[in-house]
Each structure stands twice: as C-alpha cells, then as structure tokens.
Structure 1
Amino acid sequence: MLVGWLAFAQPWSNAEKEAAIIQSILTGLNYYHFQPQKIDDQFSEKVYELYLERLDGGRRWFTQADVQQLEAFRYDLDDEALKGSYEMMDLAIQLQDKALSKTQTWYREFLDQPFDFSKEESIELDGEKRGYARNDAELKEYWRKLMKYETMTRLAQKLEKKEEGEEEFKDKSFEELEAEARKEVRKTYDDWYGRLRKRKRSDHLSTYLNALTNVFDPHTGYFEPIDKENFDISMSGKLQGIGARLTTEGDYTKVSEVVVGGPAWKQGELEKDDKILKVTQENGESTDVIGMLLDDVVQLIRGEPGTKVTLTLKKKDGTIKDITIVRDVVILEESFARSLLLETPDAEKVGYIWLPRFYADFQDANGRRCSDDVGKEIQKLKKAGVQGIILDLRNNGGGSLRDVVKMSGFFIEKGPIVQVKSRGRKPEVLEDIDARVQYGGPLIVMVNSFSASASEILAAALQDYGRAVIVGAGPSTFGKGTVQRFFDLDRAIRGHNDVKPLGEIKLTIQKFYRINGGATQLRGVEPDIVLPDTYQYIDTGEKEHKYALPWSQIDPVPYRQNVYRLPNVERLKTASRARVENDAVFRQIDEYARRLKERREDSDYPLQLETFLAEEKVREQQNEAFKELFEKEVVPTARNLPEDLPAIQQDESKKARNDEW
C-alpha cells in the first residue's frame, strides 16, 4: 500500500504538488520496483540523456550552446528529484519555447519563396548522425534544407498526378504545383507548432517524469489521469461517451472516425471530418473548444450513460449545426476476440480465432474478459466440426496475466503455465488448476515481432508443453517478460483533495519465466516455424529500449501433458525451411526486407528534384512489385460461423463491423 507516504497539512502551491508527485514516485520505485536503482549521479546522467533525447531527438531545435546550458544539470537531477524541484525542466521549457519561435520564423521565411531544385545538395534526416548544430546559422541552414525536402516530397506527388492526367493537376504549371506544395508544408508545420504551443505544464511534467521512470525500465511510467483513463479503455474495450475518435487540426478538434454501433453512429448526424466548435452539457453549461487541447475536449464529451451532450459542428460544406447525442457505454468490438471458419484445398475445416489483446475489464467484475470470449469461440468452432484451430496473436501486445493463465489451460489437462518472480522472493508458479480440456486437437499459435507479454506467456507455455506449433513472422516475438501494476498517487498523500487527482504510476514489480526456466525478457519466443517478415532485419521489440531489464534464468518446474503430441516437429521445421528457401514469394519478401533495412540505414536524401524523382521511381516500382505478392487471396473460403450469422445480419452495426473486419 502507498497510503501515508506523504502528509501535508497546509494548502499546496503548484510547486509543492509537483514535489509531492516526484517524491511519491521515487518512494514507490524504491519499495516496489523489481530492480530499484540508487538515486545518485550515475542515475542523474541516465535521466539527463534520456530527457534530452525526448526534448529534441531530431536535433531540430537546440544548438550546442543550448545543450551546454542544460549540461550543467547532468549530475544534479538526483538531487533535484530528492528535494522535489525541476530546475532543468524549467530551463528546458524556456529553451524549447525560444527555439519554437525562432525556427517558426525561419521555416515561414523559407516557404515564402520558391526553391531551386536544380542545385546538387542533400539533407541528413537522422538527428543522431547529424548532431546538434554548432550555432544558429548552421541550424537555420538545416531548416532551409528541411523545408526544401518537405516541399520536394509533396511536389513529386503532384507531378506524378499531373503526369497521370488527374483533373485537379493536369493543367497546372510546375510553378503552381510548387507553390501549392509550399503552402501545404506551411500548414502542416503551423498545425504542429500550434499543438506544441498549447502544451500545459502538466504535459511537460509528464515528459520529464517518464524520462526519470523509464531509466528503471521502459514499462515503468507516470500516467496523468487522462492517460490512465485511456489505458483502462484499451484494456476493457469499452468507454462511456458518444463513440467517436477525434484528432486535432490546427485550432480545431476534428472527427476522424465514428465508431460503428456507438451512440453517434446510431444518431446518424456526426460525420468524419466534422469540426467541433462547442460542447454543451445537459445542464446548459457551454464550452467553446476552438484552440483547446484534444484531451480536454475529450473529457468534456465523455460522460455517464444516459446523459446528453450537444456538439456545435462545422460541417464539411461550411454550415454550422447543433446535434445532441445521448451518451452510452461504447463497446469497441474490434478489440474483442472473433473467429472464422477456413477450408483447406483438401476440404478440411480449420477454425481461426483472432485475439487482438488479452483484455479484461478491471473496473467491472461482470465485464468482458478475453479468456471467457475465447472459450466461447472454441466451443462454437468445435460445434462446427473443425479439425484444427489457429490462434492468431500477431500484433497482440499482451494484457491480463490472469486471463492468459486461464486461456493456456484450455489446451492442457492442468499444470504450470508461467513462473512469476518478485524482487528478493522465490518464484511463484501460476498454474491451470482446471482439469478440463476445452480443445484437444491440432493447434497453431501465430505470432510476430509485435506479439508481446501475455502473448509470449501463452506461446512459450504451449511450446514447452509441445502442445502447439508456434508459427512466427520473423525470428522472435517482442521480448517483454515483465509484469506491471498501477499505484494511485492520490492514496500516497492524505488530504489535499483540491489538487487531486495526481495521476498514477505503473511499476514493473515482477519478471515472468517460462516453465522451462528461461525468461522471455529480451529474447522473446523463437517460433518453431519461421516465415519471412518485412521487418526481420530491423531491430524491433524490447531490445530497442535503452534500459530494458536483462535476460535471466531460474530453475525449471516439472510439466507434462497427454492431450496431444506433435508428431515429427523437427521434420516439420526442416520441411518448412526448405519450402521458404525455394518459394519465389518468400524469397521476394526476404529481398524486400533487406532493402527496407538498407533504406532505414540510408538517411541522407538528395535535394535535387531530378535525382529524387529517379530514386523515388525505383522505390515505387519495388513497392508495387511487393504489393502484388499479396493480391492473390490465400484463403478464399474464409467465412463466418453459421452460429454467428443471425446476430450479425439482424444488427446493422454488427454487420458493418463484420464487413469491415
């Protein structure tokens, strides 16, 4: 428990509130983090470097003189944190504000005049390779080249459309298209700078605190109240509001998507690209939201089910319209498990289950859980007479530990699933204690380099048991082998309700280990069958993070299963490797992956239009050839289960979601 960490009697100033936040975070890290760190000069240096990278990783704003000012704090951030002060952050905000004003003047100046695209020159886009500019003159020259590059990329697209005879472009001169491109670049950068200038002190504070917490590990972090709310939504698959995704465009909040089946979709008047001018609550309280931060607008629109909210909209045709929507619980169906029936060329029925996340509604005991949903999908597939099941965990970033243990148990009698170890304690073995086997037939688990955490627990357990064939795009999964828990900072401080909520901290409190004793941390799960992937030569996953916890190993635990034995796994692996090596499509995917790695490493781009267009043409030809590999429908027989069809066909929103899937 964090209750009683800090107690203050007098009303707080904002500085005292911020001091309490960082001191509460440090206390929590010391008590509960799996691998706590000494708060000393070495720690300070790590925080300094990580924070500086997040301030200006692209080396767009700071000169070496600016960095020199910040350098004075390299070994002082431990002392600042312990006393609850933010001198470096305050200076960084000042320097960044000055840099924004300076560079905005520059880019507008450059975009006011046509560029000379005949000159042979280039731009290095990798900030780390380029380094910080020595002075303002060097930084200004970088911005000239950047604006030229941004204009050139847009101009190239317009010239291509002109060449193809598109109506909007065919009669325009080069000069007109170049002017349009500069205008578009200016709008893009003005919009971006507008968002940067709207940041509140709490946004800067969040960036700084997360640099500090991420030195412990990349999954330990500070969450402002809105961030925690959004996290809960992603985990539960539901929210209370109108069912619309919003984005920022200049000073406006714009609708980017209306969630199918949600209150706004049912009401029927809210459309994509509508701009929200004003939000009025049921009690008549009205707020003009032009120029407001997106998170603040979202907070105004969300609300309890059954309450009404009126939006004043600027429609695409320029008309102004008020619409009233009754808020409700919005179910984000695309985040829940779904299944299909596949038929092989040999007329075998195969079940396919797609699980985007190991979701669980932690706020509602009766809310949806992925283990329950997958269990239901398995029963439906068995009823349909499938002869095998594919569980697709590609791009599944993990989620509920309880649910992954239960779900893994669907495929074995009972036994250990994963070992979980807290700091300084013996490992705890999490077991499936249910002797029932929900499915005992052939099983494939699909993964890729973005399958993480709970996905890796399930894949590792079923691989260790020899219960499933793990098929992966790429050499391994993500490599996140740690467990996090949220702690509410409000509970750390007695009273002072006037400054709450303070936010929450997500702490890495445990590492998990396979039942064979090895960790998935950093190394991930290596698939039995490895298929080529476009990102296979690019470092992805946990190992990309600077302060990821190391791989380690503990003793294995006894485990066995007699549900289904995979026959001739080694023979299967050998045959698959031979097929991949000899298959023309797989070879082309491998070649494309190598080119992609080369492109990532080559960050120096020409600024001569003729050279750029020639290189772009080659890239486009390569991209088109790659896209053509996937035009053939691999499984044309995929269809909904007969049991699901009546509900889909009777509900217009479900039908729309199903068609989209």
Structure 2
Amino acid sequence: MNAIIKFMKRHYKILLTIVVLSITLFAFNIKSNNESDPDKDKLLLELLTFVIEKGHYSPAAIDDTFSKGVYKDYIQALDPSKRFFLQSDIDEFSKYENELDDQILNKDLTFFNVTYDRLIQRMEESKKIYESILKTPFDFTTDESFNTDYEKAPYAKNSAELNEKWRKQIKLSALSSLTDRLKLQENKAKGIVEEVKSAEESGDAEEEVVATVQKKDVKDNEAPKSFVELEKETRETAKKSLDDYFGFMEDLNKNDWFSVFINSITARFDPHTNYFAPEEKERFDVSMSGKLEGIGARLQKKNDFTEISELISGGPAWRGKKLEAGDVVMKVAQGSDVPVDVVGMRLDDVVKKIKGPKGTEVRLTVKKVDGTIAVISIIRDIVEIEETYVKSSIVNKNGLNYGVIYLPKFYIDFEDKNGRDAGKDIALEVERLKKENVDGIVLDVRDDGGGSLSTVVDIAGLFISEGPIVQIKSAGRKKEVLFDKDKKIEWDGPLVIMVNSFSASASEILAAAIQDYKRGVIIGSKQTYGKGTVQNVIDLNQFVRNNAVGDLGALKTTTQKFYRINGGSTQLEGVSSDVVMPDRYAYLKMGERDVENAMPWDKIDAATYTVWDKNANFSKAIANSKSRIASSENFKLIEENAKWIDSRSADYNYSLNLDKFRLAQKDIEEKAKKYKPISKYKNNLSFKSLPYEVEQTTKDADLKEKRTRWHEALSKDIYVEEALNVLDDLQTKSMSKQAITAKKEKLAKS
C-alpha cells in the first residue's frame, strides 16, 4: 500500500528539531563498509528509534508489551509457514520475548544474531529435506490430510516431525499439480480441446493453467502419459519451484534480514511506519515518480542467471530493438570498461550495474533466445513507466459521449518540479475529453493505493470552484486545512468516482471531498480501505557526519492524520460509497480495520464549505442505481459468489489421497460453475482511445496492445457500465435534448 507522502516547508521544523537533537548522538565516523558491520546496524537501530520517537504522530512506549509485539512479528516474518524452526528453537528464542525493548534501547544485537544464525542453519537443513523427499514417488493412495492454517499450527518438536511437515506440504503441492495433469489427459482423450481453450478466455485462473498446458500438449501432439510419468513430472516441477525459492533466499544477505528485523520494530508504531533499505528507497522513489534512469528493462532471476523479462515501451532498450525478452545477461560493462561477469550475482547487484545516469553507456553481453551471444550497447536515458500514469478512454452510450479516466496512483516527482504529476495529467485528460464534447466523466481510482497529498488537492480542485479539500492534524498542533484556491472549474458536468476496498489514502481523500461537496456520486465497494494517516520519508543519512558507512536508507514514518472536510477521519472507516455494488471480495478481511496495530478513528471540527448545488438529479441518480443493482441478476450472483469465497477462505484442511482430493476439487468446480457468468459478462459498450493516443499507437505497437487489452477489459466491466448508467441519470433536461439531437444526427448519417 502506497503511503501519502507530504514534503511541505511548514513541517520542516519538526524534522529540524530531530536533526539538532541528534547531532551529539550520531556525529561520529564508521570505519567499515562491511555488509554485516555490527556498528552500522547499531547506528541504524539508534537512528530509527530516535527519529520515530521524536517525529511519529503517536509514538508507542518501548516497553515489554512493545517487546512482545516485535518478537511475534519478527519470528512470523522469518518462518511464516513454520517449516524452518523447531519448537526447541522457539523455546530458546522465547527468553528474549520481554527483553527486546531493552536490547533495542541498548543497541544490543544478540537476539537478531541468534535468530539469523539459526535461520540460515535451518534453511540449509530444509534444502536437504526437500531434495530427499522428492527423490521418491509419492503414495497417493494413503488416507492422510494436511492443514494449511499455519498460524494455528504448532512448530515441529523434532527433526522427524519437521521432515513430515515438509513431506505433506510438498505432497499437497504435487497432488494439486498431478490432478491438473490428469484432468488434461482425460479432456484430451475425450477430445475436449475447444472447451478448455474457451476457459482460458473466461479469466478463470485455475482453468487458464489447464488450458495453457492443454494447448502445449495439442501442439506437441504428445501421446498420453502413464500415471508414473505424470507423478514424476509433478515432483520435478515441485523441485524446480523449491530450487527457485531457495535460490532467491540464498540471494538475501545479512543486511536484508536485518531490514526484516528493523521493520518488525517500526511496525509496532503503526502499519505504515517502516524502514527503506537503500535499494528499497530507490524503488519507492521510482514508484512515486513513475520514472527512472536506465535502459528500460525489467529483470528477473532464473537460477544463477538474470533474464530480461520485459522491455518498457519507449525506453532506450525498446528503441534499440536489439535486446529482447528472454535474453540472458551474462556480463555488464560500463562503456568501454572491462565487462564484469554477473552469472550467480544477486539480482539487486545486477540491476545496480545496469542502471545509471542519463547519457552514459552500458554494454550487455547477452545470450539470445536462439543461443547466440551478442554484445549490445545501450545509452541510458530517462524511462517513464507508462503503467504508473493516468489514462483515459471515451465511450458512446445512448447518444452521449462519456469519458473514463483511470488513475492508478497519485504520482509526483519530488526532484523535478517540471516532471509529471497526477494533478497536471488529470487536468490534461479532462481538457482532452472536453474537446471530444463528453457529457460526463467517470474517474476510476479502484485499486489506487495513494501517493502524493498535493496532487489530491489539485485533482479535487478541477471539479469545484474553490474551498477546503482536506484537513490535517499533527501531534500537539492545531489542525491545518488545505484549500483549492483556484476559482476555475475544469469540469462542471456530471461526475462519478469509482472506488473499491483497495482504494486507499489519497484515493480516499479525493472520494471524501467529492462526497462531502456532493459534487459527484461515489460508487463501488461498501467502503474504501480506511487509511487516514500521512507519512513523511526521512533520509537517515542526514543525521551522520562524515559518513563512511555508505547509504543508510530512509524511514517512512507517520507524522500526521488527515480528516474529511466534514470533520470525520477516513482512518479505519474509509469512505462509504453512495452506491454500494457487490464485489467478490466484500467479506474478506483486507482493510486497515483488519490490520494489527492500526491507529484509531477519531473526529475533529468540520471545515467551512459550500455544498455543490448544480446536481439537480443527484438523489434520483443514486436511487435509480440502487434499484438497478438490487434487481440485477448479475449483481445478485456476484454477491452470492462473495459469500461463497468467504466460506471457502476458512477451509484449510486438504486430503492427500488422490481420489478424495479429486472428489473435493470436482465438488468445488461444480459449485464454481455457477459463477462463471461473472467472468463472461459483457456490457456491449465500445471504448476507444482519444485522438492524440490513436496517433501514438500507430507508432508504438506495445502501447496499442496495452490499450486494446484495457478497452476489452472495460467492455467486460459491469461496474464501469453501472457508473455510466449513473452518468445517464445525472443528465439534466437540457442534456437529454442534446442526446436526442445526437441520436437524430446519428440516424441521419446511417
């Protein structure tokens, strides 16, 4: 979940106080730059606790209760499925349960070192366990079961119990894979190929896997395989997955695990206070700005090799047309320097060598997908990650044109005032839609986890004349009200804001402001995520003089809470939709209210604001929408599906007997068939790009494909369809006349 980040000059006094107070504490040199330097770890521990205590909105007391929370979170983070540690390990660790507060304050790393050393030992032992288990075929005729509720499961008492736990976990994974393979062969034998292919198009994840393998079998024209062969394949697949997992784990160094420990500490203050190691801080900055300096390629680790997984459209690697997805990077050279072998190197380290300042050269020695070796020279440049940015589409419905704007994140580039930000981009899209004579706008912030606070004010200001947008309160200080001071209204027509339970933080501020002004209709899940806190990102390097230890990273800490202009907080409660639409995950616990240690809800005085008075059909549009949803068979089915998914989420026990497992899976599949119409739904609306983007797609095949996929998704989206229905209902009589005229013109042309 992305936090709301707010860098405003008026709050520098808080940080300045921290800096002044910390000079005597941290003004010393560190000699070594070793990745496991204990002096660096102690310094980091001291810095973090000090900065949090001085800067956090409501710092927790570092006492025995705090200690127990850190202990629980950290042990769970190290071994979430309880397949590494033995009960004897936990018994040994438990003596530190009430001592961590003292160790933290005294910069004592004993607990961390003990747990880290034991984890590495147990992981090495576990690798031998799974390798041994997978050498022997599984007996799927035995009547045994496995419970996947790891939270309630006990730790293994000894090595024999741990081995048995691993055996059952792996057997369950293999059984699931074997069941799919058997189903494929049975379908193939029955000649059911087209039916399975259509399942791929339906969006059903499980059947998509089936369809993918089915197509490969058909293509290769393979003969049916024996049970023994299929069972062996499942073990080989299981081993590859575990090898990949352990390969990733082995890539983590002690610093990485110390970051896990540090974040177990920061999480006790609140869920959104956390530490960014240098690489994580860089990734966070990229996610906020939507751009980076490099070659524009996504990398992934494949065993000891680094593979190009995707080229970012418009980036230098994409423009060069020599590097391809699937190429394996063998060596990296900075310009004409000697190439460095990167086989076996950590992914983060390979990324560091490939990235670099705009205008510099990097030379990659790659093994192409056809097996040939090539040296590819690329000049680094600014790469914009298009998926981060706002996009819009236009659709004609009942003779009226409507615009749909999707905002994935409230992005901003803090380093470049002239860089892209969500406020500017939304304003531009609104202007473009106005040129297309749209009669209403849907602003979609579903799954938008937040971002920059300043952009929220800018975006909300596009739809009102002027007034307060959000209220902010710092600990011990008077509230502050952020205003839209620009009287200009970019869009004064019908407006719908789409939200869901994953719309968080900045998304909630926007939805709340629009709702309080009654400027537009909020439509979506029962309530949004419920994150009503503001975070600042603090560079920890500023606190150390003559720093010889290297980059210390940054701390994201909660410094403020924000409130609606009506005075209520969005914390925990989120924003309740004006029109609630059933969704498949409505009953699952995934909001801020379900997160341990979340800050409480409260209320302050309301700001002074004037409700929008140009929505004559506001109440009627809401009532009409509720009526349509209540009578919709599709929405009824979605609601029923949500309850079924909720009931399934509590089912942790699985039979490891093939016949019983297949019978249970068949029963689930039969029940799931009832809900297939949900994924096959089509709203029969045709979405298209705006003229400027149509021109871009003629030169950019990747962009064209992405937009085609998005438009297809919109044409299958029942929620977007209802949002457009609401826009219909918000039309005034004069607008209706326009619709009639448009229809007549359309008929005349045809």
* Contact kept in structure 1, 2:530 and 2:571, CA below 8 Å: yes
Match of 1:421 among 443, 449, 473: 473
Corresponding residue of 1:559: 609
Which deviates further from its counterpart, 291-300 or 214-223? 291-300
Aligned ranges 1:100-111 → 2 under 5 Å:
100-111=123-134
* Contact kept in structure 1, 2:517 and 2:612, CA below 8 Å: no
Match of 1:119 among 142, 145, 152: 142
Match of 1:3 among 5, 8, 19: 19
**How many pairs does the alignment contain?**
657
TM-aligned CA deviation for residue 657 of structure 1:
4.4
Amino acid across the alignment from 1:93: Y
TM-aligned CA deviation for residue 210 of structure 1:
0.5
Residue 83 of structure 2 is aligned to residue 60 of structure 1: yes
SS at match of 2:394: strand
How far apart, in 1, do the equivalents of 2:612 and 2:594 lie? 39
How far apart, in 1, do the equivalents of 2:325 and 2:677 lie? 31
* Contact kept in structure 1, 2:30 and 2:40, CA below 8 Å: no
How far apart, in 1, do the equivalents of 2:354 and 2:684 lie? 42
Change (3 A) 1:332 1:388: same
Change (3 A) 1:646 1:164: same
Corresponding residue of 1:493: 544
Corresponding residue of 1:382: 434
* Contact kept in structure 1, 2:28 and 2:544, CA below 8 Å: no
* Contact kept in structure 2, 1:280 and 1:286, CA below 8 Å: yes
How far apart, in 2, do the equivalents of 1:356 and 1:256 lie? 22
How far apart, in 1, do the equivalents of 2:472 and 2:404 lie? 30
SS at match of 1:27: helix
How far apart, in 1, do the equivalents of 2:184 and 2:679 lie? 25
Unaligned runs of 5+ in 1: none
Residue 183 of structure 2 is aligned to residue 160 of structure 1: yes
SS at match of 1:601: coil
Identity %: 41
Match of 1:25 among 25, 48, 65: 48
TM-aligned CA deviation for residue 653 of structure 1:
5.4
How far apart, in 1, do the equivalents of 2:702 and 2:235 lie? 42
Aligned ranges 1:574-593 → 2 under 5 Å:
574-593=623-642
How far apart, in 1, do the equivalents of 2:132 and 2:679 lie? 45
TM-aligned CA deviation for residue 254 of structure 1:
1.8
Change (3 A) 1:568 1:329: closer
TM-aligned CA deviation for residue 643 of structure 1:
4.2
Aligned ranges 1:200-215 → 2 under 5 Å:
200-215=253-268
Which deviates further from its counterpart, 524-533 or 324-333? 324-333
TM-aligned CA deviation for residue 650 of structure 1:
4.3
Which deviates further from its counterpart, 555-564 or 114-123? 555-564
Amino acid across the alignment from 1:490: N
TM-aligned CA deviation for residue 224 of structure 1:
0.8
How far apart, in 2, do the equivalents of 1:635 and 1:264 lie? 38
TM-aligned CA deviation for residue 406 of structure 1:
1.3
Corresponding residue of 1:526: 576
Aligned ranges 1:503-542 → 2 under 5 Å:
503-542=553-592
Match of 1:453 among 487, 491, 505: 505
Corresponding residue of 1:636: 685
Q: TM-score, normalization: structure 1?
A: 0.96
For residues 448-487 of structure 1, the C-alpha deviation after alignment (integer angstroms, 9 at most, x for no partner) is: 1111100000000110111110011x21111111111111
Residue 501 of structure 2 is aligned to residue 478 of structure 1: no
For residues 110-143 of structure 1, the C-alpha deviation after alignment (integer angstroms, 9 at most, x for no partner) is: 1101111111111111211222223222221111
Residue 348 of structure 2 is aligned to residue 298 of structure 1: no
How far apart, in 1, do the equivalents of 2:66 and 2:586 lie? 33
Change (3 A) 1:36 1:150: same
Aligned ranges 1:76-475 → 2 under 5 Å:
76-165=99-188, 166-167=217-218, 170-344=223-397, 346-472=398-524, 474-475=525-526
TM-aligned CA deviation for residue 286 of structure 1:
2.2
How far apart, in 2, do the equivalents of 1:235 and 1:289 lie? 29
Following TM superposition, where does structure 1 have runs of at least 4 consecutive aligned residues deviating by more than 6 angstroms? none
How far apart, in 2, do the equivalents of 1:117 and 1:495 lie? 63
Change (3 A) 1:594 1:159: same
SS at match of 2:377: strand
How far apart, in 2, do the equivalents of 1:445 and 1:16 lie? 51
Provide the alpha-carbon RMSD of the alignment. 1.8
Which deviates further from its counterpart, 623-632 or 122-131? 623-632
SS at match of 1:596: helix
Corresponding residue of 2:74: 51
* Contact kept in structure 1, 2:27 and 2:543, CA below 8 Å: no
Residue 656 of structure 2 is aligned to residue 603 of structure 1: no
TM-aligned CA deviation for residue 446 of structure 1:
0.2
* Contact kept in structure 2, 1:161 and 1:170, CA below 8 Å: no
Change (3 A) 1:128 1:202: same
TM-aligned CA deviation for residue 567 of structure 1:
2.8
Match of 2:97 among 57, 70, 74: 74
How far apart, in 2, do the equivalents of 1:525 and 1:635 lie? 30
SS at match of 1:499: coil
SS at match of 1:435: coil
TM-aligned CA deviation for residue 98 of structure 1:
1.7
How far apart, in 2, do the equivalents of 1:552 and 1:170 lie? 66
SS at match of 1:404: helix
How far apart, in 2, do the equivalents of 1:209 and 1:316 lie? 41
Which deviates further from its counterpart, 382-391 or 192-201? 192-201
TM-aligned CA deviation for residue 318 of structure 1:
3.2
How far apart, in 2, do the equivalents of 1:290 and 1:174 lie? 38
Change (3 A) 1:626 1:306: farther
For residues 369-413 of structure 1, the C-alpha deviation after alignment (integer angstroms, 9 at most, x for no partner) is: 111110011111112111111000001111110110111011111
Residue 31 of structure 2 is aligned to residue 12 of structure 1: yes
How far apart, in 2, do the equivalents of 1:389 and 1:369 lie? 20
Change (3 A) 1:540 1:11: closer
How far apart, in 2, do the equivalents of 1:526 and 1:170 lie? 56
How far apart, in 1, do the equivalents of 2:173 and 2:370 lie? 29
* Contact kept in structure 1, 2:516 and 2:565, CA below 8 Å: yes
TM-aligned CA deviation for residue 627 of structure 1:
4.1
Which deviates further from its counterpart, 388-397 or 50-59? 50-59
SS at match of 1:313: strand
TM-aligned CA deviation for residue 636 of structure 1:
2.6
How far apart, in 2, do the equivalents of 1:10 and 1:62 lie? 38
Which deviates further from its counterpart, 502-511 or 187-196? 187-196
Which deviates further from its counterpart, 460-469 or 255-264? 255-264
TM-aligned CA deviation for residue 238 of structure 1:
0.7
SS at match of 1:191: helix
* Contact kept in structure 2, 1:413 and 1:563, CA below 8 Å: no
TM-aligned CA deviation for residue 351 of structure 1:
1.0
How far apart, in 2, do the equivalents of 1:185 and 1:438 lie? 56
Change (3 A) 1:427 1:75: same
How far apart, in 1, do the equivalents of 2:672 and 2:414 lie? 43
* Contact kept in structure 2, 1:163 and 1:170, CA below 8 Å: no
How far apart, in 1, do the equivalents of 2:618 and 2:392 lie? 28
Amino acid across the alignment from 1:143: W
TM-aligned CA deviation for residue 601 of structure 1:
0.8
TM-aligned CA deviation for residue 587 of structure 1:
1.6
TM-aligned CA deviation for residue 315 of structure 1:
2.8
Change (3 A) 1:504 1:176: same
How far apart, in 1, do the equivalents of 2:388 and 2:30 lie? 43
Amino acid across the alignment from 1:270: L
Unaligned runs of 5+ in 2: 1-15, 189-216, 711-750
How far apart, in 1, do the equivalents of 2:296 and 2:666 lie? 41
